[in-house]
Structure 1
Amino acid sequence: MRTGTGPGGTLAPHVGRYATAPGPLVRAPAPAAVDPPRARPRLRAPASRPVRAPQSALADGSPASPGRFKMRAMSFGQGGPYGPGGSQPPQQSTPDWAALADQSAARDRRRKLFLIGGGVLATAAVAAIVATAVASSGHKGKGGGDAAGGLPSPQDLPSESATAEPSFSDVAPPAPPKPLDIISSARRDKAPLSPATLFPEKSAAKDDRSYAMASTAATTSCATATQGQLGSVLVNNGCRELLRATFSRDGVAVTVGVAVFDGKAAAERAKDQYKPNVASLAGGGVPVFCRRTACQTSANAIGRYAYFTISGYTSGKAVTASDTVTLQAGRDVADYTFNRILARGNAQASAEAAATD
């Protein structure tokens, strides 16, 4: 504690804020000179009174400011009650005005926060009461709705949810017709059928090989255009017509015969029961071939059509098992025939799709 001279020349403590927490207060020193010892009267220690800081100005007329307060001096006579031989003074402390001011400010802040929080809670409670009253109100306004917000009452709601009607966008478009399905049934395969429509081109081409068309023929008596046991196989499975065409290239000739049935199952049976073979077709510069000599043959089917090939040399030379020229010619014409039958299905599928648009 620091001391200074107060009004009237007495010593008064100078109280101010500390940068750190203050330690114990220092006891006031005893007077320098004392009277000779004498009997000490039994005196009562004066009651300490709290010192109040002035509100406006100090006693000397200077304005009040933090850290400067007027303190009242107290005197106990010569020697005082705590002179030589006297009892030890009780330890007293001076009030920390700065700490008291901080506590008062903290109380004020807590009071303000309490008032603000109470106001928010009160507002929320009023809003909840109003919302409950609106929701539970049974009065109706115009149009049968709730008077507060126009909400429908339970009696106004439909008893059953209506079944949503499908829109046109929900209906998937029909699947396009499949060419293979069309050529697998005589009921749907209605396009004109003849050697000219089945083989409209003047040659059969495969990769870089091209075979010129020599002649064509068609008959409803399927057995008459065959040799060996193939005729009976075709008749037994219900052959309706047999169309033939001959193609040639570099002294090699190939005749393909296309047998027409009512359905896919009959064509598959004819292929599986195949026995040689379709009769070769001469004409258009191609002589008779593959009648009294060995030739290459094949059999296959697609949809309601079974097709057979026979290939050999136009010179009458016999075909051996290792012969690759006649084998390649027969495969090329067979592949061309397969593509032509499939193209027939594609054309009819496109026509059906256009008719449904």
Structure 2
Amino acid sequence: MSFGQGGPSRGPGGNQTPDWAALADESAARNRRKKWLLIGGGVLATAAVGAIVATAVISAGDKGSTGTGKNARELPAPTDLPNETAEPEPSFSSVAPPPPPDPKDYISDAKKDRAPITVDAFFPGKKLTTGDRVYLKGATQQTKNCAATTKGALGSILVSNGCDQVIRATYSRDGIAVTVGLAVFTTEAQAKKAAQQSSGSIATLSGSGVPAFCPAGSVCRRTSNSYGRYAYFAITGYTSGKDVTKTDKKAYATGDDLTNFTFRQIRHRGELQASAAATAPAG
């Protein structure tokens, strides 16, 4: 049997017996080459598939679609996505509200001070309670004859500054009496000037349980002040005729209680009118 050129190798000695060991080695080498070729091909195929998949994913991301063929659908572009909603922010008016009326404006000029002027508007009730002190109200009077309610130079001062009217009220407690005279003017400037020029005093007003006090020659305490278009004067003395001294805390406290009350009543008058103006409908 002849295998021709390239046939199987012969063993040593030139005999025709095949060299089976060499043939086995050649077969094993061929098998190893085929195996490596198969492995290499698989790796290359896997890499190729991965590249294709990656390319498909990138392409899908670029084109903004999902699926392939007829099943493909367009993904919304970022600008097509719904915007994040937020709670509506509160809105505020750019126009500042007007400031509340100043109560003093309504007691500083007769054009605004339109509330009735009466004894009860300033000195209501039958008594006045301040802390633990209770004062009984005595006689009262309201008159347009301003000069007739005074003693000394005060009458002419009131008249020269345009006094419209005077309200008087007397209070008493523990043998001490106080008469307060409230003089009404058209403007604040008139009332302030009358209080600054004050001389003499308001005349005492007795009756309704209060005897005459501060007779001629006795020493009594006299005060004057103003607020808005009102000037108020007070005279304080003992109903027994005893003189009031500068160290007489009891008499001074009584006079201060009544003048402070008068001031609060004037101020309250302004507050009531300012409040009414603030709540009145615009017209």
TM-score after normalising by structure 2: 0.71
Q: 1:123 to 1:193 in 2, by over 3 A?
A: closer
Aligned to 2:182: 258
Aligned to 1:341: 266
User: Is 1:116 equivalent to 2:40 in the alignment?
Assistant: no
Q: 1:215 to 1:52 in 2, by over 3 A?
A: same
Q: 1:266 to 1:98 in 2, by over 3 A?
A: farther
**After superposition, where does 1:280-299 map in structure 2 within 5 Å?**
280-290=204-214, 291-299=216-224
**After superposition, where does 1:96-175 map in structure 2 within 5 Å?**
98=39, 101-122=42-63
Structure with the bigger RCO (C-alpha within 8 Å, sep 6+) is 2
- CA distance in 1: counterparts of 2:98 and 2:130, whole angstroms: 36
Shift of 1:207: 0.9
Aligned to 2:199: 275
Aligned to 1:195: 119
Q: 1:14 to 1:263 in 2, by over 3 A?
A: farther
- CA distance in 2: counterparts of 1:96 and 1:191, whole angstroms: 117
Q: Identify the range of structure 1 (312-321 vs 107-116) with the bigger mean alpha-carbon deviation.
A: 107-116
- CA distance in 2: counterparts of 1:248 and 1:283, whole angstroms: 11
- CA distance in 2: counterparts of 1:261 and 1:321, whole angstroms: 31
Aligned to 1:44: none
- CA distance in 1: counterparts of 2:187 and 2:22, whole angstroms: 138
- CA distance in 2: counterparts of 1:232 and 1:209, whole angstroms: 35
Q: Which one-letter code corresponds to 1:106 in the other structure?
A: A
Shift of 1:189: 1.7
Q: Which one-letter code corresponds to 2:247 in the other structure?
A: S
Task: Provide structure 1 residue ranges, at least 5 long, that are not aligned to the other structure.
Answer: 1-5, 16-48, 54-68, 70-94, 125-130, 132-168
Task: Provide structure 2 residue ranges, at least 5 long, that are not aligned to the other structure.
Answer: 1-19, 66-76, 78-92
Q: Which residue of 3, 6, 10 corresponds with 2:24?
A: 10
Q: 1:112 to 1:179 in 2, by over 3 A?
A: same
Aligned to 1:40: none
Aligned to 1:225: 149
More strand by share: 2
Aligned to 1:320: 245
Please report the RMSD computed on the Cα atoms of aligned residues, expressed in angstroms.
3.6
Note the alpha carbon deviations across 1:8-31, whole angstroms, 9 max, x for none: 98247989xxxxxxxxxxxxxxxx
Matched residues, percent identical? 41
Aligned to 1:237: 161
TM-score after normalising by structure 1: 0.57
User: Is 1:303 equivalent to 2:224 in the alignment?
Assistant: no
- CA distance in 1: counterparts of 2:252 and 2:213, whole angstroms: 15
- CA distance in 1: counterparts of 2:154 and 2:31, whole angstroms: 138
Shift of 1:122: 4.5
More helix by share: 2
Q: Please say which structure displays the higher CA radius of gyration.
A: 1
Q: 1:214 to 1:120 in 2, by over 3 A?
A: closer
Shift of 1:221: 2.4
- CA distance in 2: counterparts of 1:120 and 1:196, whole angstroms: 91
